[in-house]
Structure 1
């Protein structure tokens, strides 16, 4: 009976789910013990992904990236008084994805888009230098993972924060790199 149920479950899984390998995601509880405050939840599937950069020093090891992400969390919660780190996810120079507020909790990353997008912050400043291919691969794999799980729409649109608000984020060089992604959109929806 159990094998029959497993077989039926496999039949109803989307075909894309089996093909997509999610990136290595370092869970929030692996880089901080500080709990989040109040939580608002997003309605899935989510239509947009907004890309930013942190304008902090880069990190290239799990230890350094963990410290950097927790430092950003501390700044957001202590200095800004936010309930959690503003980004949904952060991409480290080590190629890992660090869970911020995650897939379905509302972040504080892009005014006007927080209720309808996932915010991905690249750790570093990418105004005058490109993000590494390792970072780009991790971020794009995260988007593919979200689509395969039904969290992001299959036709999700990716924007740079600079397209939807007055900011230089995610830095000009990273902004140019993103435009090769199939989910990239020049047509901003307000």
Structure 2
């Protein structure tokens, strides 16, 4: 399993994800986007230095996406987002992909903090984020409207120093 840069040829797979109402609800986004809209957004953002989009690649098979967005080079923080397709859900790829995205943010982009938003009712995702060291920093009441109602959201984050320390401790335990 690896992550690689999103390419124009991946847009058909992104289009499928973007048109799944349940998936977009978890991303607090509106579903149903045309392929033309998606292609136009891709073209608009291809050179945007404030976002990085990666494909979760399983030996050439599209398994999901990891995105670093709202990259702030002054305050050195960014938001991370992830979606694993239904076919590969529950197989550990979300955690592996998320870790690769966080590694990229800290070790390539030199971010100080990575954060995310997650629906308080998305226990599966919260569990994965906590396993990687993300901490709940706050609960935002009725922050997002999706699926016909407002949802509370956790704001979760991890600092580079905590992430490095956590990984060093895991390395020592495994040796």
State the TM-score bracket (shorter-chain normalisation).
Answer: 0.3 to 0.5
Q: Whose strand proportion is higher, 1 or 2? A: 2
TM-score by length of structure 2 reads 0.43
Q: TM-score, normalised by structure 1?
A: 0.40
Structure (1 or 2) with the greater helix fraction: 2
